[in-house]
């Protein structure tokens, strides 16, 4: 259900239920839980790209399975999926969603859980839950953090589907590219990020997450810790200063 491969500091996680538009059922949820445990332990991976095979990034929760669940079972699954999004957000790696095709419901929330989002111009986004008689099961707080409140509420309350270009205007995605160039564009972005030390990226992610949680800005402590404990940071600073010195001669 999931393909995971890594090379040169970048791992690609591909949802692999194309016939079901990569919908999140209990089996895929369990597979993602296991895969994230593996990714978190990959010390040689700096960037994780999340994408889907076929015509969808992820169509959200599997509605066919939902018709078979009791209310308690549905709540238990949604609780697991909410925790899963938190695990994505707290990975030490920088995460990028590469979105082609449908990103609906929980699929949109999965994209919002990543640090960055790049979409093809045939990507479509929506939260149709309200039109089906229920609310999104998880991810609302994170969506409100990613997208300005008015836009997020419009998505939540209308259930309408939007084009990638509108998602870009809302701030839901960072970039929109032509479909044939999506993977190459994301690979180039990932490689660019992976050139930075993994520790500095992880520290920056944690500072941002703490500020979003309403905690005080701990940037000075993280900055000081890097200079105290990271020989790589000092070496890179010295190399940068030397390059500037040579360039000014």
Is the separation of the CB atoms in 156 and 128 below 8 Å? no
List the end-to-end C-alpha distance of the chain, in Å, as a whole number: 57
Q: What is the β-pairing status of strands 116-120 and 124-126?
A: unpaired
Taken in order of first residue, the domains within the chain and their CATH numbers are: 2-194 (3.90.226.10), 198-248 (no CATH)
Least confident of 49-63, 76-90, 201-215: 201-215
Q: What is the pTM of this model?
A: 0.90
pLDDT of 119-172, one tens digit each? 999 999 999 999 999 999 999 999 999 998 799 999 999 999 999 999 999 999
Instruction: Report, as residue numbers or ranges, the catalytic residues.
Output: 129
Please say if the pLDDT value at position 48 is more than 60.
Answer: yes
Please say if the pLDDT value at position 198 is more than 70.
Answer: yes
CA 211 to the chain's CA centroid: 18
Amino acid 112: pLDDT: 97
Nearest partner of 143 among 109, 114, 97, judged by Cα:
109
Nearest partner of 35 among 60, 66, 11, 53, judged by Cα:
11
């Amino acid at each position: 259900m999931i393909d995971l491969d890594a090379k040169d500091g970048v791992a690609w996680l591909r949802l692999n239920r194309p016939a079901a538009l990569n919908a999140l059922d209990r089996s895929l949820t369990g597979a993602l839980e296991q895969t994230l445990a593996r990714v978190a332990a990959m010390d040689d991976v700096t960037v994780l790209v999340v994408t889907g095979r076929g015509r969808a990034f992820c169509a959200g929760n599997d509605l066919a399975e939902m018709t078979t669940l009791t209310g308690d079972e549905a709540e238990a699954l949604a609780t697991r999926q909410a925790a899963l999004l938190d695990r994505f957000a707290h990975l030490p790696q920088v995460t990028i969603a590469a979105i082609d095709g449908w990103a609906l419901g929980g699929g949109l929330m999965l994209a919002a859980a990543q640090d960055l989002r790049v979409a093809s111009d045939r990507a479509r986004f929506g939260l149709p839950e309200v039109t089906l008689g229920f609310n999104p099961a998880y991810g609302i707080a994170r969506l409100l953090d990613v997208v300005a409140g008015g836009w997020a509420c419009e998505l939540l309350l209308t259930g309408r589907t939007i084009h990638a270009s509108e998602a870009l205007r809302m701030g839901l995605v960072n970039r929109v590219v032509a479909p044939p160039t999506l993977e190459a564009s994301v690979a180039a972005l990932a490689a660019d990020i992976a050139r930075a030390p993994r520790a500095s990226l992880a520290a920056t992610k944690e500072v941002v997450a703490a500020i979003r949680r309403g905690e005080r800005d701990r940037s000075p402590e993280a900055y000081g810790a890097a200079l105290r404990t990271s020989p790589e940071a000092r070496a890179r600073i010295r190399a940068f200063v030397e390059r500037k010195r040579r360039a000014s001669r």
